[in-house]
C-alpha cells in the first residue's frame, strides 16, 4: 500500500485536475459534486486514507471529502485544523462553505465573517457570505455581500447573477434585469440568466420580451425545462394555447413527474374545449400529487362540462 504522503499527493493531484483546490476550495457551480470516473477514483483514494490519523487534520483530505459530498466529514477535518491553528484562513473559508452545503447558513455566516476579519479583500468570501444570507432569507444582507464581491472583482459573474436572483426575490425587477443584462454580456451562453431575466420581464408586464428571453435560454440549453415551463405559462397568459401545449409537452418529456405541468397543459386543452385530453392531464397530475387541490377542481369542472356529474361531484368533494 502506498504511504500516507503518497496517497495525499495523489489526492491533491485529483483535486487539482478537477478544479476543486488543494487549499482554499473552488466549489463547483450550484453545489454540484464530482460524478463518474473522477468521483470513483477520488473515493478509492479517500478509502485508503480512512485509517491514517494524520490525514484527519489535512486540508487535502477535507477537500476530498467535500468533493464527493461527505460534508460532515469535511467539516470535522476543517474544525480539527482550526483547533490547532485558529487563524488558518483556508480551513476557515472551507468550513464556512461546508456549512452552506450542510444547510446551516448561520454557521456559514459566522465563519465567513471571521475570514473577512482576517482578509477583507477576499471577494470569494463576500460572495459566499451573500449566498449564506440569501439562504437565510436576508435579501438585503445578501445584496451587500454580492456588491462587495463585485467591487473587489469587477466582472464577477456569479456575484452578478446571484444579485439578479436576489433582487427578483425582493420584487426589484428593473434592477434584476440590469444585473442579468451584465451576466449575459459576460457570458452570452448562460441559459439561466436569460431565463431569469425573462421571469423579471414577465413581472414587469413585458411578456413578449420575456418569451424572447425564454427562447434564447432554450437555444443555449435545449434541456432547460424551467425555461420551457416559463414560456408555456406566458403563452397561456397571452392565449397562445397551441404554443402552450407544445411547451408543456416538452417540459413533460424532460421532467415526466411534473404534476404542475400536467395540470397546466390540461388547462390549455380545457381552453380549446378538448375536455377529454384535459381530463387525462388532470388525472396524471392527481396521480403524481394526490392532494393537488387545483387539479382536482379542474378535473371536476372538465367532467361537468362533459356531463359527467357524478365524477365531477367526487372531485369537488
* Of 298 and 174, more confident: 174
Please say if the pLDDT value at position 171 is more than 70: yes
Q: Domain 155-242 is classified in which CATH homologous superfamily?
A: Tetratricopeptide repeat domain (1.25.40.10)
pTM of the model: 0.88
What would the 3-class secondary structure string for 84-124 be? HCCCCHHHHHHHHHHHHHCCCHHHHHHHHHHHHHHCCCCHH
Please say if the pLDDT value at position 245 is more than 70: yes
Only one residue has cell 428571453, namely 213
Please say if the pLDDT value at position 89 is more than 90: yes
d(CA 2, CA 25): 26
When pLDDT is averaged across residues 258-280 and rounded to a whole number, the result is 96
Please say if the pLDDT value at position 39 is more than 60: yes
* Of 57 and 295, more confident: 295
CA nearest 56: which of 87, 78, 38, 41?
A: 78
Instruction: Record the cell numbers describing residue 285, joined without a space.
Output: 397530475
How many other CB atoms sit within 10 Å of the CB of residue 89?
Answer: 16
Dihedral sign computed on CA atoms, order 140, 141, 144, 149: negative
Please tell me the predicted confidence (pLDDT) of residue 169. 97
pLDDT tens digits for 137-168?
999 999 999 999 999 999 999 999 999 999 99
Please say if the pLDDT value at position 30 is more than 60: no
- Domain borders along the chain are 155-242, 257-316
Please say if the pLDDT value at position 5 is more than 60: yes
* Of 31 and 84, more confident: 84
Please tell me the predicted confidence (pLDDT) of residue 128. 97
Q: Are 276 and 244 in contact (CB under 8 A)?
A: no
**What is the topology classification, in CATH, of domain 257-316?**
1.25.40
Among 4-18, 70-84, 185-199, 272-286, name the one with the lowest average pLDDT: 4-18
When pLDDT is averaged across residues 182-196 and rounded to a whole number, the result is 97
Please tell me the predicted confidence (pLDDT) of residue 312. 58
d(CA 18, CA 266): 45
d(CA 280, CA 204): 34
pLDDT tens digits for 107-118?
999 999 999 999
Please say if the pLDDT value at position 310 is more than 70: no
Q: Do domains 155-242 and 257-316 have the same CATH topology?
A: yes
Only one residue has cell 474544525, namely 79
Long-range contacts of 270-278 (CB under 8 A, 24+ apart): 270/298, 270/301, 270/302, 271/236, 271/239, 271/241, 272/241, 275/302, 275/305, 275/306, 276/306, 278/302
pLDDT tens digits for 71-86?
999 999 999 999 999 9
Percent of the chain with pLDDT over 70: 92
Q: Are 134 and 162 in contact (CB under 8 A)?
A: yes
Q: Which of the four pLDDT bands, split at 50, 70 and 90, describes residue 29?
A: low
d(CA 105, CA 93): 13
Amino acid at each position: 500500500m502506498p504511504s500516507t504522503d503518497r496517497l495525499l499527493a495523489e489526492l491533491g493531484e485529483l483535486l487539482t485536475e478537477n478544479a476543486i483546490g488543494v487549499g482554499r476550495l473552488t466549489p463547483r457551480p450550484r453545489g454540484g459534486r464530482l460524478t463518474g470516473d473522477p468521483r470513483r477514483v477520488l473515493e478509492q483514494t479517500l478509502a485508503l486514507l480512512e485509517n491514517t490519523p494524520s490525514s484527519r487534520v489535512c486540508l487535502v483530505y477535507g477537500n476530498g471529502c467535500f468533493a464527493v459530498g461527505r460534508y460532515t466529514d469535511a467539516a470535522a477535518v476543517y474544525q480539527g485544523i482550526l483547533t490547532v491553528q485558529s487563524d488558518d484562513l483556508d480551513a476557515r473559508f472551507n468550513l464556512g462553505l461546508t456549512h452552506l452545503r450542510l444547510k446551516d447558513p448561520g454557521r456559514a455566516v459566522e465563519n465567513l465573517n471571521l475570514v473577512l476579519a482576517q482578509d477583507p479583500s477576499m471577494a470569494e468570501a463576500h460572495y459566499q457570505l451573500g449566498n449564506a444570507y440569501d439562504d437565510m432569507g436576508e435579501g438585503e444582507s445578501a445584496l451587500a455581500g454580492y456588491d462587495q464581491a463585485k467591487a473587489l472583482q469587477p466582472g464577477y459573474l456569479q456575484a452578478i447573477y446571484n444579485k439578479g436572483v436576489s433582487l427578483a426575490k425582493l420584487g426589484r425587477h428593473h434592477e434584476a434585469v440590469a444585473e442579468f443584462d451584465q451576466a449575459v454580456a459576460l457570458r452570452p451562453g448562460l441559459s439561466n440568466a436569460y431565463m431569469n431575466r425573462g421571469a423579471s420581464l414577465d413581472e414587469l408586464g413585458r411578456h413578449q420580451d420575456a418569451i424572447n428571453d425564454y427562447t434564447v435560454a432554450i437555444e443555449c440549453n435545449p434541456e432547460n425545462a424551467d425555461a420551457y415551463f416559463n414560456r408555456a405559462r406566458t403563452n397561456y397568459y397571452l392565449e397562445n394555447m397551441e404554443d402552450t401545449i407544445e411547451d408543456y409537452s416538452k417540459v413533460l418529456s424532460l421532467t415526466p413527474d411534473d404534476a404542475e405541468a400536467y395540470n397546466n397543459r390540461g388547462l390549455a386543452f380545457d381552453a380549446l374545449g378538448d375536455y377529454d385530453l384535459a381530463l387525462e392531464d388532470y388525472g396524471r397530475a392527481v396521480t403524481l400529487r394526490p392532494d393537488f387541490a387545483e387539479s382536482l377542481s379542474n378535473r371536476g369542472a372538465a367532467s361537468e362540462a362533459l356531463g359527467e356529474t357524478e365524477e365531477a361531484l367526487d372531485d369537488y368533494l
